[in-house]
Amino acid sequence: MNRRKGNLFSSGKRRRKRRDYRNASIGPNMGGYDAHGNTHTARSVKKTKPAHAASSSQPGSRRAYRPGEIGNVRPRGESAETAADYSRRAQRRARSLRPPLDIPVRSIVTIVVIVVAAIAIAAGVASCVFQGSVNNRMALQDAAVAEALVAPENAEDPYYLLFAGSFDDAAQTAGEADVLMLVRADTASGKATIISIPSNLIWTLSDGSNGFIGRELAVGGDAGLVRTVADFAGVGIAHFATTDAAGFVKLVDALGGIDVELTEEVDDPEAGSIYLPAGTQTLTGEQALVACKAKNYLNGYETRAQVQMKVLAAIVRKAGAGEGLGARQSTLDAIAGTFQTDLSTQAVIDLLGRYGSAAAEDVYQARVPGYSGYEGGELQFSVAPNGWKTMMEKVNAGSDPNEKSEAVQSVDPSKYTLTVKNGAGVAGAASECAEALEAAGYKVKETGNTDQFAYNETLVVYKDEKNAAVAEAIADALGVGRPVEAGIYYEFSTDLQVIVGQDWKPRS
């Protein structure tokens, strides 16, 4: 019988292989090679039975404990990593775990500055684009106006602005202005004065002729109109604005209408087919236009001037009603193009913001004193020089032009006797005027007619200088009249004499 020689899988060889495998598998901490590649034997370990190893004699044990078998390997706690390596690794980990807000302060400030600057630049560009667009739509057609305008000495000083409108069909056809208002703006005090100037006021025009002041627009253009009105008022005009009927209607409608109180009804077929009752109401563009064009009011020019000034004040109040710069910019963007002016976009916004919320008592309204009469078949207006001079003195001082002097306010009508004469040839004029004066408290001793009916203007004649204030009070009570000193031209036995001219109409 032959035996196997050198059997690779003999019992003895298998046991040796298992020991070699265990020695190699345990690693450097239990024997074999250390961390530096050197061989060593494992430290002497007391051979005790593991607590979890079951004895072969214990019932239910799965297998018996065998000496030399490793059931749990505990690392030695030593590493080949040096202290410097560990420090660098710890720093890298700390940086990776650092909160994102842990950014240098200078970097944060730089970022904030860049963002704010970018926003400011974007806002500035948008503002420039907006203002450029609005400026183009509001620009005047007459470049010569700039040479006629006179800026105030200081930016904070009050200044005058002239508003001109061509509303009537005839005026638009002829290139004339039939609405003229001179505005004094005192932005420091927040007060303003609006003065209505009759477009048919007789004045010397730029070509040397005497004619309606509103016709200067056709003679000398916008620049000529500015110079002529400035000459009439005796002031420098710093700004100019103008519109026509179509632009005016669009302006009011763009604002959603304006609230205006009408002291009497509007029913003038020549102004338009629209009828408006008396009272406070919201007017559309067409309605406001008709109210401004109407001429058949009971008190004629006086009421028409009041309506036009109320409409202008209502437009400014409505346009400036929005709160904040954005609201006023939006409003101006909507109405730009409905009027033309030399004012910049920012200047208009500032005006709207200043006067949009102004109290009624801070906006004075007045009309040029004088009288109307027909000459050559045309109704024309003649200014009362003394009254106009007195009014402009008050306006330039920033006071209420309608305010009576203390001397006028102190007049006691019951102490003065009057003679009333009809100088216009209008039947019943003297008696109607006498009734009005008696109702005011004066004592009328005599009525009659003048030798000739040649008086277009009502005169209040006084003998003594001390009665000049009384004459002014009488003119105020009548609503018309120019105080004059008697001199050698007038004779009467009473304290004062009233000569009724064509300009007088009974007050309703």
**Top-level class of domain 406-500:** alpha beta
Q: Is the pLDDT confidence value at 126 over 70?
A: no
Q: Is the pLDDT confidence value at 315 over 90?
A: yes
Distance (Å, whole) CA 194 – CA 366: 6
pLDDT cut 70: percent of the chain above it:
77
Span between the terminal Cα atoms of the chain, in Å: 160
pLDDT band at 368 (very low <50, low <70, confident <90, very high): very high
Give the mean pLDDT of 244-254. 95
Domain ranges of the chain: 8-37, 87-138, 140-396, 406-500
Token digits of residue 287: 């309605």
Single-letter amino acid code for the residue at 280: T
CATH architecture under which domain 140-396 falls: 3-Layer(aba) Sandwich (3.40)
Q: Which residues of 303-336 are buried (b: 16+ CB within 10 A; e: fewer)?
A: bbbbbbbbbbbbbbbbbbebeeeeebbebbebbb
Distance (Å, whole) CA 260 – CA 257: 10
Give the mean pLDDT of 249-268. 95
Contact status, residue 137 vs residue 254, Cβ threshold 8 Å: no
Q: Which of 184, 196, 187 is nearest to 239 (CA)?
A: 184
Structure confidence at residue 89 (pLDDT): 74
Judge if 140-396 and 406-500 fold alike in CATH terms: no
Dihedral sign for Cα atoms in the order 339, 138, 157, 178: negative
**Which has more pLDDT, 481 or 103?**
481
Catalogue the E-assigned strands of 175-334: 179-186, 191-197, 202-204, 210-212, 237-244, 258-262, 279-283
pLDDT cut 90: percent of the chain above it:
47
Q: Is the pLDDT confidence value at 219 over 80?
A: yes
Q: What is the three-class DSSP state of 344?
A: coil
Alpha carbon dihedral 274, 138, 240, 300, in 10-degree steps, equals: 0
**Which has more pLDDT, 53 or 265?**
265
Look-up of token digits 């919320």? 357
